[in-house]
Structure 1
């Protein structure tokens, strides 16, 4: 399985100056789908293979002005970077991250990194990391 870090590094290299919005492991870890956003709110999608090579994209996701404005707000308000969130989760939950996304919850009051972790015993653990404070909450 390509490492999460390798997939993100390849995607960020392909779209310089962007911010990670989400990453999803697919095909049993053989492929990572990465969604990035530019400072203008333009979203781009890429697929990175197990070797850490971009195999698809980047392609622009046409979302319209309202969604671009929403994404720009998320980017501006998130104080915890993707890398910070990965480190926070990795130090608290043992396993492999299979999905991460940055989004607002609770009627837009809470900006979090929503994370899925596959634990060594094969169970799933959901975790949320507050993108402003770094507070980690495990889902029951």
Structure 2
């Protein structure tokens, strides 16, 4: 969540000074390029991350950035420590993890109290619409992005209790 705000700010700043190419590179949102080469699903990446770093998965995103393609799974540990876990999208091995200074653990814990669906269950619900390249817990829903070959990425909201899928029109 916070990372998306930072990415948006960097993108806006780059565009303001005429750096369109810089903005596109800085966004890191190159899921379309990484999706075809990924053999590991979002559910498998989440499982690998939780095996490495116990807690609750609150997001997973297939990224293709300067470190190469990887699943980035955010895990909130029981002590409210935030961890980012990078998972290889081809072999499913954890490449590394680190504790992150995330200050919205309280917000995430509050959102988790209102959900009966895990990140993996949200991925499974969204998988009906294509290959899931991103899932993220928001205040009111799981937000998922799907990729289907030859089509643009689609955004979905997954109800946190029922798993009902609706198009995200934002």
- TM-score of the pair, normalised by structure 2: 0.68
3-state DSSP of counterpart to 2:138: strand
> By how many angstroms is 1:120 displaced?
2.5
Paired residues, what number? 128
CA distance in 1, matches of 2:117, 2:162: 8
Give the aligned partner of residue 44 of structure 1: 83
CA distance in 1, matches of 2:102, 2:123: 27
Q: Is the 8 A contact 1:41 1:71 kept in 2?
A: no
Is residue 15 of structure 1 aligned with residue 44 of structure 2? no
Change (3 A) 1:70 1:139: closer
Which deviations, in whole Å up to 9, do the C-alpha atoms of 1:101-127 show, x marking residues without a partner?
A: 0011xxxxxx21101111132321110
3-state DSSP of counterpart to 2:91: coil
Which structure: larger Rg?
A: 2
Is residue 120 of structure 1 aligned with residue 149 of structure 2? yes
Which deviations, in whole Å up to 9, do the C-alpha atoms of 1:12-34 show, x marking residues without a partner?
A: 10112x11111111128931111
Give the aligned partner of residue 14 of structure 2: none
- TM-score of the pair, normalised by structure 1: 0.81
| More helix as a share of residues | 2
Give the aligned partner of residue 30 of structure 2: none
Q: Is the 8 A contact 1:19 1:75 kept in 2?
A: no
Backbone CA RMSD of aligned residues: 1.9
Unaligned runs of 5+ in 2: 1-37
CA distance in 2, matches of 1:30, 1:68: 27
From 116, 119, 143, give the equivalent of 1:82: 119
